[in-house]
Amino acid sequence: MYFLEPNDSFPDVSLADEDGLLAFGGELTAGRLLDAYQKGIFPWFEDDQPVLWWSPNPRFVLYPPELKVSKSMKQFMRNCNLEITVNKDFRAVITECALAKREGQAGTWITNDMIEAYVELHEMGYAKSVEVYHDNKLVGGLYGIDLGNGVFCGESMFTKQSNASKAAFITFIQNTNYKLIDCQVYTNHLESLGAKEISRALFLSYL
């Protein structure tokens, strides 16, 4: 694992350990984050840790044509009274993601510095949010990075109402033309939606 000074470049991702941990340290800026995503690297740490940078092998991804939507979810989306928007309130979405309690995590990697860096990326056109409203209240959403090459790097999602974030994810994928959704690391939830593991080398070839 490599220590990054503020102006250091990332080491080659092949130097990551078996868990995918590549480096720690470095400044949390929009430029640093964009450079990381373009190289297949992402930040993930808790608020009592230094900034940790990861590039796992294998990589967990979703090919949009392989998206799986259950019959019950299709019925829910036909009958629910939800409004789903894109880029309506990025700051609200990332803030809710930071506040969301997650099983197995004592804190959040979405610190105030991270929020400001991602908001800057949003203003630059790289970061996108999806919002879910019910009765004009924000009840779910997600955000991530659009690299402009057909790859969307999903970062985090939250839900305050059953199926809200899942509806956001499905609707977003069904109404965009991405060739690959980067889900980063394995989760049962995303596997149920069709995500699967591919080699890091194959993932990097899409970038």
**What CATH number did the domain enclosing 116 receive?**
3.40.630.70
Which is nearest to 64 in space by CA: 149, 166, 143, 151? 151
Q: In the beta sheet, which residues pair with residue 157?
A: 142
Let me know whether 40 and 90 are in one domain. Answer: no
- How does DSSP classify residue 107? S
126: tokens are: 């790289």
The confidence band for 1, taking pLDDT boundaries of 50, 70 and 90, is confident
Residue 28 CA to residue 118 CA, distance in Å, equals 10
Domain end marker among 16, 34, 56: 56
The confidence band for 103, taking pLDDT boundaries of 50, 70 and 90, is low
Residue 49 buriedness (CB in 10 A; 0-12 / 13-18 / 19+): exposed
Per-residue pLDDT at 160: 96
Query: pLDDT tens digit string along 58-77?
Result: 999 999 999 999 999 999 99
Let me know whether 100 and 196 are in one domain. Answer: yes
Number of domains present in the structure of the chain:
2
Let me know whether 122 and 45 are in one domain. Answer: no
Other Cβ atoms closer than 10 A to 114: 20
Domain of 14, CATH number, reads 3.30.70.3550
Q: Which residues contact 117 (CB under 8 A, 6 or more apart)?
A: 28, 29, 30, 32, 33
**End-to-end CA, the chain:** 23
Let me know whether 12 and 50 are in one domain. Answer: yes
Let me know whether 68 and 150 are in one domain. Answer: yes
Residue 107 has pLDDT above 60, yes or no: no
In this prediction the pTM is 0.92
Let me know whether 10 and 112 are in one domain. Answer: no
> Domain residues for 85?
60-206
**Residue 119 amino acid letter:** V
- How does DSSP classify residue 8? P
Let me know whether 161 and 68 are in one domain. Answer: yes
